[in-house]
Amino acid sequence: MKVKQFLKNIFPYVVAILLVVLFRAYIATPVRVSGQSMYPNLKGKEILLLSKLSDFERYDIIVLDRNVSKDHLVKRVYGLPGETIKAKDNKLYINDKKIADDYGYGVTSDFGPTKLGKDEYFVLGDNRIISLDSRGIGAIKKNQISGKIVFSLFPFKKIK
């Protein structure tokens, strides 16, 4: 009888732990920003919530998985599958049309044009001076993206 009572008492805890593990593995997980490549919009040590179920649109902040770099890289999507992206005279162009670059900090050196494949994205860090991004590592395949940032968890004054 004691074993049955023990299993009955522990069951809710096992279910709770299992749900948390599954949630973090397949739905969402916290991510810590390291470095200054997304400065001034994101700073080191901020904690963000990463959704693993999202599609990606221009200007979304995404996290690249560890097969791209030893750390999770946090970057912003600029080029979408099938597009051609380039930078000329500190301006960004998609399919030869100038696009808004409200997030870029510092000078964006000339690059491209780069034609993206059907499952490729071109990502840039907001801090163009020091960012390791598609200008140096090339286009990012969709399967190299862990997910999209959907929420800021810390610092508390920045929660949104």
> Count of H helices and E strands in the chain?
2, 11
Catalytic residue among 2, 8, 54, 75: 75
Question: 72-127: per-residue pLDDT in tens?
Answer: 789 999 999 999 999 999 999 999 999 999 999 999 999 999 999 999 999 999 99
Q: Is 37 labeled as catalytic in the residue annotation?
A: yes
Closest CA to 38 of 157, 114, 127, 139: 127
Q: Is 45 labeled as catalytic in the residue annotation?
A: no
- What structural domains and CATH numbers belong to the chain? 30-155 (2.10.109.10)
Catalytic residue among 37, 131, 146, 152: 37
Residues above pLDDT 90, as percent of the chain: 63
Between the alpha carbon of residue 27 and those of residues 77, 90, 96, 105, the distances in Å are 20, 37, 36, 31
Closest CA to 54 of 160, 152, 146, 154: 146
Put simply, whether the predicted model's pTM sits higher than 0.85 gets the answer yes
As given in the structure block, the two tokens for residue 46 are 């901020």
Q: Exposed/middle/buried for 126, CB within 10 Å: 0-12, 13-18, 19+? A: buried
